[in-house]
Amino acid sequence: MTRIVKWVEGLLAVVLAVMATLVFGNVVLRYGFNTGIMFSEEMSRFLFIWITLIGALVVMKDNAHLGMSSVISLFGDTGRRVCRFLADFLSLLCCLLLVHGSWKQVVLGMEDLAPVTNIPMGIIQASLLIASAGMALVLAVSLWRQLTGRMPSDELIPNSARSGE
């Protein structure tokens, strides 16, 4: 699993570099030579969508999303467990709704092409499907660990609170 995450993080870094190169190159060409790369703006937008959603999935795996850790840290162990369970359960429900809706959007979007790049919009919308399905899986594992008593107390508060950030 760690190898996959490292590979995805590396891929995200490469995609970010490609996106930055496209935008920078387009700006230089536009203002310096009164020309530009036709697909740069559209492709950069699509890459940004993918980076944002897949990056959110990577952060979810590390339990590093923003939370109300300062409030939760005031509770005892039982209160923390209840808060974590409710947060994970409600987040799982939201992710399942996103999976359902994004699947419909992907199916519909495969026939709709982007105006400049002619990429099927379903491919772009698949980023939400992948991210929400992955988050649902992470949340389901978290809930399973909580229900079976395999989640230690130090994992109940998000990483950012434990590291003092």
pLDDT, position 159: 63
Are 139 and 147 in contact, with CB atoms under 8 Å apart?
A: no
pLDDT, position 128: 96
Query: What whole-number distance in Å separates Cα of residue 92 and Cα of residue 143?
Result: 9
Are 106 and 122 in contact, with CB atoms under 8 Å apart?
A: yes
Per-residue pLDDT of the chain in tens (165 residues, 90 and over written 9): 789 889 999 999 999 999 999 999 999 999 999 888 889 999 999 999 999 999 999 998 887 777 777 787 888 889 999 999 999 999 999 999 999 999 999 999 999 999 999 999 999 999 999 999 999 999 999 999 999 989 888 887 776 544 444
pLDDT, position 100: 98
pLDDT, position 165: 43
3-state secondary structure 123-159: HHHHHHHHHHHHHHHHHHHHHHHHHCCCCCHHHCCCH
Range of the domain at 7: 2-162
Q: Which residues contact 87 (CB under 8 A, 6 or more apart)?
A: 67
Query: What whole-number distance in Å separates Cα of residue 61 and Cα of residue 43?
Result: 27
Please give the tally of structural domains in the chain: 1
